[in-house]
Amino acid sequence: MSTLFISDIHLSAQRPDMTAALVRFLEHDAPGADALYVLGDLFEFWIGDDDPNPLHQQMADAFLALSQQNVPIYFIHGNRDFLLGQQFAKRAGMTLLGDPCVIDLYGERVVLSHGDLLCTLDEGYQKFRRITQLKWLRWLFLRLPLARRQAIACKMRGQSQMENAHKSQIIMDVTPAAVDDTLRAHDCRMMIHGHTHRPAIHDFTLDGHPARRIVLGDWFEQGSVLVCRPGEQRLEMRALATIDPAAHPSV
Ligand code: OKV
Ligand code: MN
């Protein structure tokens, strides 16, 4: 009896080690779970479900195989893969959820989010989000030829990287008041999110009641998985590559 949560894998063709680690997780760790939740930024970028990137098909196959073993898979968009649509979700056997959303986790109300909405001090990012959330602009972007979308997206990523280099850690972390407000608004005492890449379990007090915020980690150095069982939540690590001794003979 366990429910699994992952986020911020940031899959791309540049990191086959992370792709391999996730596929291994989907094949060996996730079967038998009650559910798998992917809380955003599964992919490093996403410019439309019609992108013929072979990595997308590989991941759709891997997720679909898990869903066919009767593990329901839920996906919340991240700030990088917010354009991932119903077409890909269907191919991957995933159900798309809104951000934030509330689930019943073994009898406890838990609010799930990617976490970018909680970073209210990052004005540059929140402006980017407001613009790219505009329905008509998305509609327009998705109707551009793939090569145009690729060029625009590449330029936007380069620009964003330069901006983030000058932002402080505090600006890029969640605002405590936004966490409190979200918990209150959804009548929850527990939240699970990703985005900040600072895996931790934060226990605090909200309106006189014990509250818990669990932050998932990224998969750059090692895999990060939250394993939940009734009344228990554990953040676990997964090695990216198991070293094959045959490939590295000792002298
Ligand atoms: C994702 C981020 C690039 C951050 C563009 C409308 C517009 C969507 C888009 C293009 C970029 C996603 C889809 C990407 C996240 C970046 C840079 C910063 C902070 C438009 C709708 F405006 F051009 F019309 N995009 N891509 N960033 O490359 O995946 O999260 S992306
Ligand atoms: Mn993110």
Count the neighbouring beta carbons within 10 Å of the beta carbon of residue 121.
16
Query: DSSP letters along 25-94, please?
Result: IIIIISTT-SEEEE-S-SBS----TT---HHHHHHHHHHHHHHTTT--EEEE--SSSTT--HHHHHHTTE
ipTM: 0.98
**How high is the pLDDT of residue 251?**
56
Q: Find tokens 């599964």 and name the residue.
A: 42
**Average pLDDT of the chain to the nearest whole number:** 95
pLDDT at residue 108, as a whole number: 98
* Pairing, β 108-113 against β 101-105: antiparallel
Whole-number Å distance between alpha carbons of 113 and 78: 9
- Ligand 1 in contact with 138 (CB < 6 A)? yes
**Ligand 1 contact, 25 CB (< 6 A):** no
Report the pLDDT averaged over residues 141-151.
Answer: 98
Q: Which residues have a Cβ under 8 Å from the Cβ of 154 and sit 6 or more positions away?
A: none
Q: Which helix (H) or strand (E) holds 109?
A: strand 108-113
More confident residue, 247 or 26: 26
Q: What is the C-alpha to C-alpha distance for residues 2 and 228, in angstroms, rounded to an integer?
A: 5
Assess whether pLDDT exceeds 80 at residue 99.
Answer: yes
Phi and psi (nearest 5°) for 56? -65, -45
Long-range residue pairs from 99-107, CB within 8 A, at least 24 positions apart, any chain = 99/40, 100/182, 100/186, 101/76, 102/186, 102/188, 103/37, 105/3, 105/190, 105/228, 106/1, 106/3, 106/228, 106/229, 106/230, 106/231, 107/230
| 186 annotated ligand binder | no
127 lines ligand 1 (CB under 6 A): no
Ligand 1 atom at minimum distance from 45 CA: 29
**HSE value, Cβ hemisphere, 13 Å, CA-based, for 61:** 8
C-alpha closest to that of 47 among 157, 149, 159: 149
Structural tokens at position 148: 């145009």
Give the residue, by CA position, lying nearest to ligand 1 atom 15. 80
What is the mean predicted confidence (pLDDT) over 202-229? 97
Distance 40 CA to ligand 2 centre (A): 7
Pocket test for ligand 1, best of 84, 141, 142, 163 (most atoms within 8 A of CB): 141
| Nearest alpha carbon, ligand 1 atom 19 | 125
pLDDT for the residue 250: 55
If one counts every other C-beta atom within 10 angstroms of the C-beta of residue 222, the result is: 17
Contact 71, 35 (CB under 8 A): yes
User: What are 116-131's pLDDT values in tens digits?
Assistant: 999 999 999 999 999 9
248 is in an annotated binding site: no
Ligand lying nearest the CA atom of residue 115 = 2
Query: What would the two tokens of residue 182 be?
Result: 């979200």
Q: Is the CB of 46 under 6 A from ligand 1?
A: yes
Q: What pLDDT does residue 242 have?
A: 61
Nearest ligand to the CA atom of 80: 1
- d(C-alpha 13, C-alpha 107), whole Å: 40
Regarding the beta carbon of 141 and ligand 1, being less than 6 Å apart is answered yes
83 lines ligand 1 (CB under 6 A): yes
pLDDT band at 249 (very low <50, low <70, confident <90, very high): low
Q: How far is the CA of 41 from the centre of ligand 2 (A)?
A: 5
Angle, CA 177 vertex, CA 175 and CA 183 arms, to 5° = 110
The helix/strand/coil state of 170 is coil
At 157-175, the pLDDT tens digits run: 999 998 888 888 888 899 9
Measured in residues, the chain has a length of 251
